[in-house]
Structures are given as C-alpha cells and as structure tokens.
Amino acid sequence: MTVESTASSSAESIPGSAERAARPFDVLGKTYEDTYAHLPEQLAAIDWLLARLPQKARVMDIGSGTGRPTADRIASQGHSVTGYDVSQVMVDLARMQVPAARFELADVRTLADAPGRWDAITAFFPLLQMPRADLDVILTRIANWLAPGGMFVFATVPFDAEDEEIQWMGQTVRCTSYPAHTYGQLLRKAGLVVVHEQLSVFHPDFPGMGPEEHLFLYAVKPGGPLVPAHRLAGPYPLPETYRGPHELSEQGWLGMEARFERHDIALVADTLTGNEKVLDVGGGTGAVVREIAARLGSVTTVEPHAAREASLRPLTEDGVRVLAGRAEQLPLADGEFDAALATWVLHYTDDPDAAVTEMARTVDRTHPEAKVVLVQGAPDNELIALWNRTCASLIGEAPDHQGHLLTRAARILAAHGFEDLSFHRARVDVVFPEAGPEAKAQAAAGVLADFWNTGHPQLVQLREALLPALYEHFASGTDRFNDDAVMLLARPRRALPA
C-alpha cells in the first residue's frame, strides 16, 4: 500500500521529525519483521556481538522495531537490553514479543547523555530519516555512550542524498544517507576503531520491491579490559590458581571416543577456512587433524605421548606431519604457521600458560588469517559437573574449571597481540545406547571412570560412586550426556584504514 504525504504544517511534514519517521512503521507493524528479520548480514552481526559481549552486558538497541531478531537474541543470552523506537506500534509489539528486554518510545536524539553506560549499541537501519546534521551528532554521541571496550554494530542503506523521497514497502518515505565510505570516516572521527565494513545486496520478499544495497559496520571503542568476563568462560567467580593436569590414558580416551557425537571438530575446521599452514597441538587419536588435512591438504601436529605419536604416523599419507614434543616447548620456529589450535588439551598440560604462549609464538601475526583456536569444556558441561560433584573429593583433587583455563589463555593471547577474542559454543554428546537406565548407568560408570582415572587405585570405588547419579540421569529417559565445548578464537585486531 502506498501512503501519500499530504500534511503541510503538521509535525509529520517536518524533515527528520519523529512523527514522520514513525508513520510508515506504525502502518507496517509485523510486516516489517516478516520481511527483514532473517537478513543474513544482520544475523551475522548479532552473532559477532554475542561472541564478544561481556557477561550480563548492557545493550542499547536503537530502532528496536518489533524486538526481533536483535533484542530477542541478545536478551536470550542473559544480557540487559533496552530498545528505543519512534513507533508506538513497534514498541507495543516488541514488549509483547520480547518480555525479557525493555522497550521505550523515544527519539534517540532526545536521549540524555550517559557517558560510558553501554557495553554495546546496535543500530540496524534506524538513522535514515534524520538530517545529516543530526546523524553526525548521533554517531558521535553513540561513541560517547559506549563504555571503554564497548562495541557498536551499525547498518544502513548508503547513498548520496538528503531528504530524498522514495517508495518503500508501499510507503512514501523521505530518506537521508551518505556514500558508503563516509560512515567509516564518521565513526573514526568519533573515536571508534572500525574493524569490519561490508557492502551487501538484499532482495526483500515484498511486492514491488527491488534489490537494496546495505552497509554493515562493526566498531570498537578503545580501552576496557583485554578479556571481559564472557558467560561461556564461566561459571564465575573463577578459581585463582590452576588445579593441575588431569591424567590421560589412550585406553580411557578410546573408550570415550566410541561414544562421542562431536560437532566441535566441524566448527574448528570451518574456522580455519582461509588458512594454509596450521599447527595442531596434541594430535591425540587424530580425529581433528584428519578433518583439517582433508579440508586444507596438510596440517602439522605435535604429540607428547609416544604411543599416540606412533598411532598418528600412518596419517602422513593424508598430509599430516607428525612431530614429537610437548605443548610447553614446541619444536617449531617463530611465526612458522598462520594458525595454531589445541582441542581439549590445556587441562592435560603441566603449564597451560606456557603452552598458550608457545602457540602464540608459532603464529605469524602479520598473516591476514592469523589465529589461535582453543577448545575446552562449556560452563554447563554435564560430565565436568558430574566429575566435580562425585569424583574430585573422593580422590582428593581440586574441582575442574575449564572456563578458568580459557580465561587465562585469552589474557595471554591478548598480551601477545591476539586481541580480537570471541567465544563460541559447540555441541558434543556422549551417547549410551544400552537398553534401560540400569544398563546405561553400568556402561557409563565403566567408561567415565576409565576415562577420568585409568589405573587409579580407587577405580572400583569411583565406578560405584558414579552409579546413583548415572542411574538418576538415565531414568529421565535420555541416552546421553551433554559434553559441550567452548571454542576460543583469538585473532589480531585489525583496524580498517581511514
């Protein structure tokens, strides 16, 4: 439906007025969400933000619309989201659809200054109906509102015109913008570091609409902690010291590997797209290096245990270079690789700090795809919780805390120039298909006790101690344990040129 602009002296006719900006969205309501909520670049921008937001972050969503997808996805991860929109219809829809967030009817230009209040600000296409003078001021104020280290994710339609009348989704709208290159300049002038700038084309699924060119920018305010507390590095508070390494035997690992449904390997391999020289620390049974070699053609792995090193040797035919060595003292040159990874390795090392330092040393930070990738257990990992609850005290060991290891690693990597840190969840299950909870519990007790404590003098007692909790778990009808992983991806932060 096309709405004609007939007002002459009302607020709706004033260039840049909130009333005029609200009118098309009051008419469209949920139709706008149906058309734009699945915009791929917007979803990718939200994912980028979620991987970096500190725990329980304060997030402002400018032009929050119906609350979906932005406020909904961010609030669902435990963050405090406040959305502002000029359309009462949109505010009402957002309050109904996303009760976990707060929504207010407001023109962003009238908001009081709150220096350093927000950990992140999002603005997906809300600034197109205000004059350039107001747009310039708002971008500067946004930089001021961000806390040190805070992030700004921005999207707009770039073009070189002011107060230009267009037909959009059946509405007559007057829009203002800049050429694409101007927005990065404005953000840098405001004191932000632009780390991502992308032009894309979107084809709205709406009658009569043609393709739209979109501009997405991610920017960071300098300062702030190198490693903010991320929810996937919890639970908090973190231990003050490393509890020491777990024991690992090939027998125990093979028994577990047969039960795994792993999605972390594909996540790691996808992350290495674009890399050519990859180092894997702790080759283990070869599950990870086989996948990487299949995708990239080659990979180097360093393995400290003689038996596992020998078992990896046949993979040389598949492009896997196998070296003997310890994570804490890698037999490799500085900057020899463009990526280094270690999956489920740090908690088996004597000195995880030294291991991470060594990995950072082997990566050439000047390479455009330079990265360090670490995988450890998630904060809600059911098997780690079971071990902490049942086994740790029985054998006189300190509880395990995988997030502590990831946080230590992140601090070391940031200090070595890998300052762009992001955390990503990967699903891993350990499956027990035996018939009935009793059989499942018996099988799980044997597999887990052997995996955690092969050869321990109290192995029989460990199995017996596990049985009640295992039976209760399987009596719920499940056949698996969540053994979820967290991938820490660390890259040098590269500011785009001015």
Structure tokens of 387?
């071990």
426-441 confidence digits (pLDDT tens) = 999 999 999 999 999 9
pLDDT value at position 34?
Answer: 87
What string of DSSP letters covers 13-74?
GSTT-HHHHHHHHHHHTHHHHHHHTT-HHHHHHHHHHHTTPPTT-EEEEET-TTSTTHHHHH
Asked whether the predicted pLDDT for residue 4 surpasses 80, the reply is: no
Asked whether the predicted pLDDT for residue 455 surpasses 50, the reply is: yes
3-class secondary structure per residue, 445-491: HHHHHHHHHCCCCCHHHHHHHHHHHHHHHHHCCCCEEECCEEEEEEE
pLDDT value at position 270?
Answer: 97
Read off the DSSP letter of residue 284. Answer: T
326-364 confidence digits (pLDDT tens) = 999 999 999 999 999 999 999 999 999 999 999 999 999
- Element housing 444 (H / E): helix 437-453
Asked if 487 and 345 count as a contact pair (C-beta separation under 8 A), the reply is no
Q: Which of 497, 419, 433 is nearest to 228 (CA)?
A: 419
240-271 confidence digits (pLDDT tens) = 999 999 987 777 788 898 999 999 999 999 99
Structure tokens of 198?
């992308």
449: phi then psi, degrees, rounded to nearest 5: -60, -40
Residue 373, class by beta-carbon neighbours within 10 Å (0-12 exposed, 13-18 middle, 19+ buried)? buried
**Residue 139 to residues 106, 144, 146, 184, 188: CA-CA distances in angstroms?**
17, 9, 11, 11, 10
Average pLDDT estimate for 124-151: 96
64-118 confidence digits (pLDDT tens) = 999 999 999 999 999 999 999 999 999 999 999 999 999 999 999 999 999 999 9
149-181 confidence digits (pLDDT tens) = 999 999 999 999 999 998 888 888 899 999 999
HSE-up of residue 132 (Cα within 13 Å, Cβ side): 14
The pTM assigned to this predicted structure is 0.93
pLDDT value at position 11?
Answer: 43
9-64 confidence digits (pLDDT tens) = 344 445 567 888 888 787 888 888 888 888 999 999 999 999 999 999 999 999 99
pLDDT value at position 16?
Answer: 64
Alpha helix segments (H runs only) across 167-305: 180-189, 250-257, 264-271, 287-296
Average pLDDT estimate for 127-141: 96
Mean pLDDT (the chain) is 93
Average pLDDT estimate for 279-287: 94
pLDDT value at position 9?
Answer: 37
β-strand partners of 490: 372, 421
Q: Which of 489, 470, 407, 415 is nearest to 231 (CA)?
A: 407
66: phi then psi, degrees, rounded to nearest 5: -80, 0
